Structure 1
């Protein structure tokens, strides 16, 4: 509002100067009424008008907006327009015998070159203030245009300087059309004092240009050589990292290079890390398996266009008008049409919403009562979904998912809706190719809510053209109100669950949106620290997806147990609990002291004084009851995480011990008599010797196998077709490891498997490739521990 008022004041002042220039006689009376404002030679009049744009710049900075737009042409055009209006007004009466319009225009344009036409007689002998202002603005316009041209010519160097000067950096590695929206969301939520730096190998790509227009800084690097750009000095000021390649393998390779630099510098703070993994089920597995690294340097999350889109759709369909009457209308049954990647993301998001609402029922949110998968072979998909959900959360919190095995066309949906209450159903069509069917469906059933993926849509808004039809894009455009990552989302729910039963007027118990950012970050810190402590000291892992069967049910009297008893049921003995609460307190104390808080006997939030900012032993000596409260807080956090689907399980006995697995499947193979090379999934170049076999599996992946190894592990079943036979030793990787293979060194990432053949040779494989090519552990106990028993592979 203030910005608009000051802008209007500037326009009014300029027009006032123009009027005085056109009618000098008017200035005499007006000058007396306005204390000489606008009279010839009035220095303060010039100063006021030139100061107004500076005030506009200041207001933009106070509002957190950039001082200038990313297109300087708008600024130059505004100044040039002011010069033309003021100059033409000042010269309009001075053309004499010359052309009435073109002479004033020529004299005004000459102002941009520093030339001022003056006159010795008549009304034009006195220079109006409008001309003096126009002369100054013209010079500034010329200089600004030259500076803008120079900046445009050397914009890469300017960006490098800006990155070098930045106190903190949010670094985005890789940019394309899909991730421009992520950059927009980052810029809207990041610290105004920070800088968003994008590392790209194409500074002139359309996506890179749009990111620069949004306000990001670009740095040209060779993304194919992570080891080179990972040595840049900018990593010392890293505040947040985004790895945004469409290929998740590239992202993990790049992370390994950055981690070697950042993690090796002894960094103790937790740096948020976001990795793009579009496949929703792969993203969830990676999100959980990364926690097993037990490294405090990173707080990792995965983001993908299907998960982001699913979250927006679920928020839209679960939100109810804030009329103060919650639950007035029953939540609809959501029907997901087709087995598309968005279907996988939607059913996982809906299951998560069900768990969240059980933990803390958000006002004006009603979770769908059930989900229907309307697709051929839907039963197989639901079996996989149930298996996954049983491994992450108690079965009594699972969302009901029903299969309807049919092709989701308009006629089949019409038969399905016959005799049903249309208003209680919401259909989600995930393929933009179904646009015609979506329109037909909305026309036939105007009370059925239809969500239709559209390549032409730019956002999901509450406007429908036909019936109750909403179009949406499948993209990575984050909602402004959405949590930054999965851990902030969990921290918000745990805070609301705890605070709902307390007075909401205290600084630490206010609703999440009203919390001071410092307190909000402290809640996030507590959750992340709990995740790390369970992995590092509790002997547990959060990656319950690798363990078969549902979680063990809690005793019926669980809520009546004391916190130590509850934690024992969850798998943590007394010594481990005491160690974890001590570490949590010291981490909390360091967080507060780093923010300038100090100890005082009486707490005073306004002066940043706290009565518990003491070392653990000293605090417990003064207040023994605090230890009980600390154990209760830990138990509450871990139980909330369990209810939200983050269930910790004991790590496998023997840790990284080898187990024996059967080989299975067929390959196409050919023995080559010359040296050749091939590339692994993670990008390493392998060297095969003459006589090695070129092996291509049914997934199209090529690799080499030494002659003596191939002959011992394959049996010919047809021309160039061989059956894999025998067994290998294998173990799961918890941390990245360098494996010395016969063809060269390969890095195994967390979640991969390292295999060992009969002759001691070793090589790594991805989890999906391992499960496809090996039939499970030879011993049944290992099968149960490794999660093979009863496992069904996803259709996708």
Structure 2
């Protein structure tokens, strides 16, 4: 589970404690230096404290050396890394303390030697393990007959520690690459970032902050000694050098079977796509059938990013994709700043936002405002108010808005989109002044998305003090709530994520769907608390439910989430849609009864696996504290014991898909050569489970690879094949003496001759007249026409 964050007040208290510890340490070292210079000062100390600094005092040594340890413990309690990168600060602090204490102890002992340089040389010798002892009966100068001050003993220990830490730091720096390889090899899960530059360093920091605590952060780069690489090491990243010019370098890495999240952050989107193709091929060879791996690809063009996100929402069995870019990230921060009211007496967000120019940021902003409009329609977040309209102020604005409306019509039903208006004119000071003449400037905000408009922004802010002006700046580091002229706010266009931003659009959608659901309840149960207060397991389950729906719609229902590629606009739902039974709602959304049945069964089993993996078990009565749940049963048994659970499952599925649609994620049927239909499995087979891997030859000639534990199945016509262990039990029932009856239903369609089908045993090229069969887990395999007709029968109404 994630470590719960500390509140700002608690963190401030711990930091104050760390400062107090540092102050005590400095005071203690200073006092020991004073005693070493003038032992008579001990007489002025209260009797109860005279033990501190006394010659040979073990308690003094222990107390002084314990203070740095307490400092590091307090930093850890503040959720800070103890030592990030080379521990130069720690080395410098120990060395300075050792020099101060050593010089103070030796200062009076030079005898006939040089007054300054003798104590200095003796102090420096401490770092080599050599101790000059001018104290005691055989001592020199003023130190003769004087006990060795405790300051010298502490200085000796600190000097040795400084030398050892410096040597260890040098060793770590020298063998850092090897240490990183070992750490990567040992990690159970990996969050992998492919390619970084100076601009994406800040994003790696955000990734480090939000990653799964059980996953190691791995950065693949060509330059592990560059400035960006050195920077990400501070966030705990492990670096691995990769030659990106070698087409096979990525796919040959032994990382992909432990992948938890994947980020492709090259500034060139085509490089990212090419690298994804290589990684996707490697992941296909690993056992990730039941996992949807979050994938984030950098695409700075906001419209291309949206197409990628929707086209790859859930490819095959592996990915739940998102896209990220400097313009979309900047747009999200700007929209959040524009639409959030700060404080109870702060100004209301503007009702009209004017976007000047047709820069890529304009494209990102208008899409972000449209998405916020949909989100507020689903859940009205407290303190957030979207604009009533957005105006594009630029030459060619009308043409741009035509494109925007076409895209939005394919995303959301007609009539629900945010109004976007065109002002077809160059955005000059005079033109904007004329536009604002008959409006209340306090209800407007102007966004200048080009740093070249700096003078324009200053002049507008001077003319209209109540007008909020947002100016893209090449020098600003962050968007701040301060201004010099009027309400002129400068902001950078970069990849810097907000600390509280969701990891991707799907987590953002999961949060909104949860808030929409829980806002109608008392929010007192573990499943209905506000998102930020949810138990990490429940939060992960909400995300799991949404990503599983993305996958099921594509893999089980044959739909696509890329409604942008669908020429027809979205049609409004019937007026009485909300009151219809869930099966009828699903039918209107494009899912027949057989498909819906498969989807609710698959969702339940995925939910059950999620909770059982977290240590939950079945019990007749639910007990969250003891991790017991009365619904943790196989689907068939759940239906028998809790008939009401079926209606709830259909209602939950319909609600998830409706909420996704309301957020702009509308699935559309694919247009294959033939559509998927539902079939029942027929016939009997002979089968045995084998304990070691083996190979067999498909009808198309490919050599297939079965794993240990898979079943070898032979039908009555003599055809042999393998069935995965996790699939066999749900698709066959024993009838005695190694014989099994084929059970269950599948989806099937005619194959496209020559298409490549990724089966559990390897890729197969479909032949003419073949059928593609898809099981309940989304697994696919080709079946020759004669074998298919003998082993499957269509279900009425499919």
State the TM-score, normalizing by the size of structure 2: 0.79
Tell me the equivalent position of 1:23. Answer: 38
**In the alignment, structure 1 residue 614 sits paired with structure 2 residue 636:** no
Structure 2 residue 115 is matched with structure 1 residue 109: no
Answer yes or no: is 1:553 the counterpart of 2:575.
Answer: no
User: 1:167 and 2:182 equivalent?
Assistant: no
How far, CA to CA, are the matches of 1:319 and 1:569 in structure 2? 36
Tell me the distance in 1 between the aligned counterparts of 2:374 and 2:212. Answer: 32
Instruction: Report deviation, 1:633.
Output: 0.9
- Indicate if the aligned counterparts of 1:28 and 1:39 stay in contact, CA closer than 8 A: no
Q: Please report how far the alpha carbon of residue 635 of structure 1 lies from its aligned counterpart in structure 2 after TM superposition.
A: 1.0
Q: Are the structure 2 counterparts of residues 483 and 615 from structure 1 closer, same or farther at C-alpha, using a change threshold of 3 Å?
A: same
Q: Would you say 1:216 and 2:240 are equivalent positions?
A: no
1:353 aligns with 2:362: no
Q: C-alpha separation between the residues in 1 aligned to 2:409 and 2:754?
A: 28
Match of 1:250 in 2: 271
Instruction: Tell me the residue number matched to 1:754.
Output: none
Q: Please report how far the alpha carbon of residue 510 of structure 1 lies from its aligned counterpart in structure 2 after TM superposition.
A: 0.8
Contact kept, 8 Å, 1:199 with 1:221, in 2: the verdict is yes
Q: Tell me whether 1:563 sits opposite 2:582 in the alignment.
A: yes
After TM superposition, give the deviation of residue 54 of structure 1 in Å. Answer: 2.6
Q: 1:12 to 1:168 in 2, by over 3 A?
A: farther
1:129 pairs, out of 127, 132, 150, with 150
Shift, 1:554, TM fit: 1.3
Asked if the contact 2:292/2:318 (under 8 Å) is kept, the reply is yes
Structure 1 residue 438: Cα displacement: 1.4
Q: Is the 8 A contact 1:226 1:253 kept in 2?
A: no
1:602 to 614, 617, 621: 621
Matched, 1:207 2:222: no
Residue 238 of structure 1 and its aligned partner are, at CA, apart by 2.0
Q: CA offset at residue 646 of structure 1?
A: 0.5
Does the aligned pair in 1 maintain the 2:639–2:646 contact within 8 Å?
A: yes
Q: Which residue of 2 aligns with 1:51?
A: 66
One of 617, 642, 645 as aligned partner of 1:626: 645
CA contact under 8 A between 1:269 and 1:297: conserved in structure 2? yes
Q: Which residue of 2 aligns with 1:711?
A: none
Contact 1:30 1:36 in 2 (8 A): no
Structure 2 residue 247 is matched with structure 1 residue 229 = no
Matched residue of 1:501: which SS? coil
Cα displacement (A) at 1:292: 6.0
Counterparts of 1:638-649 in structure 2, within 5 Å, are: 638-649=657-668
Tell whether 2:239 aligns with 1:239.
Answer: no
Give the deviation of 1:251 after TM superposition.
0.8
C-alpha change, 1:89 and 1:736, in structure 2 (3 Å) is farther
The match for 1:663 is none
The residue aligned with 1:6 is 21
Stretch of structure 1 that moved more, 404-413 or 489-498: 404-413
Aligned counterpart, 2:723: none
**Displacement of 1:559 after TM fit?**
1.4
Question: Which residue pairs with 2:488 in the alignment?
Answer: 469
Deviation of the 1:477 alpha carbon: 0.5
Aligned to 1:301: 322
Cross-structure match for 1:266: 287
Q: 1:588 to 1:35 in 2, by over 3 A?
A: farther
In structure 1, the partner of 2:178 is 157
1:87 corresponds to which residue? 102
Residue 482 (1) aligns with residue 501 (2): yes
Q: Residue 37 of structure 1: SS of its match in structure 2?
A: coil
* Structure 1 residues 619-675: Cα deviation after superposition (integer angstroms, max 9, x where no partner): 221111111111111111111111100011222263699xxxxxxxxxxxxxxxxxx
In the aligned structure 1, how far is the partner of 2:643 from the partner of 2:58?
Answer: 72
Compute the displacement of 1:227 (Å).
1.8
Aligned to 1:440: 459
SS of residue in 2 equivalent to 1:336: strand
- Quote the RMSD (CA, aligned, Å): 2.4
Is the CA contact (8 Å cut-off) linking 2:350 and 2:445 kept in structure 1?
Answer: no
Q: CA deviation at 1:443?
A: 1.5
SS of the aligned residue for 1:619 comes to helix
1:654 aligns with 2:670: no
Deviation per CA, 1:82-103, whole angstroms, max 9, x where unpaired? 1112112222333344444433
Aligned length: 661
Q: For the residues of structure 2 that align with 1:241 and 1:476, how far apart are their CA atoms? A: 17
3-state SS of the aligned residue for 1:227? Answer: coil
Equivalent residue of 2:321, what SS? Answer: strand
Correspondent of 1:428 among 434, 441, 447? 447
Q: Deviations over 1:133-164 (max 9, x none)?
A: 11011011112222223333333333323323
C-alpha distance after superposition, 1:361-414 (max 9, x if no partner): 000001011000001111110011000001011123200000000111212111
1:535 partner SS: helix
Identify the range of structure 1 (187-196 vs 175-184) with the bigger mean alpha-carbon deviation.
187-196
TM-score, scaled relative to structure 1: 0.79
Partner of 1:710: none
- Structure 1 residues 316, 88: closer, same or farther in 2, change over 3 A? same
> Does the CA contact (< 8 Å) of 2:42 and 2:50 recur in 1?
no
Q: Deviations over 1:449-479 (max 9, x none)?
A: 1111111011111111111111111111000
- Mapped partners of 2:527, 2:286: distance in 1: 34
Separation (CA, whole Å) in 1 of partners of 2:206 and 2:194? 15
Q: State the SS of the aligned residue for 1:474.
A: coil
Indicate yes or no: 2:599 matched with 1:580.
yes
Instruction: Give 1:516 deviation, angstroms.
Output: 1.4
How far 1:194 sits from its partner (Å)?
Answer: 3.4
Residue 286 (structure 1) aligned with residue 308 (structure 2): yes
- Contact (CA 8 Å) 2:314, 2:550: kept in 1 or not? no
- DSSP-derived class of the 1:291 partner: coil
Contact 1:203-1:209 at 8 Å conserved across structures: yes
Greater Cα offset, 402-411 or 195-204: 195-204
1:162-181 residue CA offsets vs partner (Å, 9 max, x unmatched): 32333332111111122111
Bigger Cα displacement from structure 2, 513-522 vs 380-389: 513-522
SS in 2 for 1:490: helix
Say whether the 8 Å CA contact 2:256–2:286 is kept in structure 1.
no
Q: Secondary structure at the match of 1:300?
A: strand
Q: Is the 8 A contact 2:257 2:287 kept in 1?
A: no
CA distance in 2, matches of 1:4, 1:296: 51
Contact 2:410–2:566 (CA under 8 A) maintained in structure 1: yes
1:384 corresponds to: 403
Is this contact kept in 2: 1:31–1:38, CA < 8 A?
no
Residue 793 of structure 2 corresponds to none
| C-alpha deviation, 1:500, in angstroms | 0.3
Which of 430, 443, 455 is the matching residue for 2:474?
455
Q: Which structure 2 segments of 5+ residues have no match? A: 1-13, 677-750, 758-798
**Alpha-carbon offset, residue 303 of structure 1:** 0.5
Q: Corresponding residue for 1:748?
A: none
Distance 1:397 1:405 in 2: 24
Deviates more, 1:587-596 or 1:211-220: 211-220
**Higher mean C-alpha deviation, range 495-504 or range 245-254:** 245-254
1:412 aligns with 2:410: no
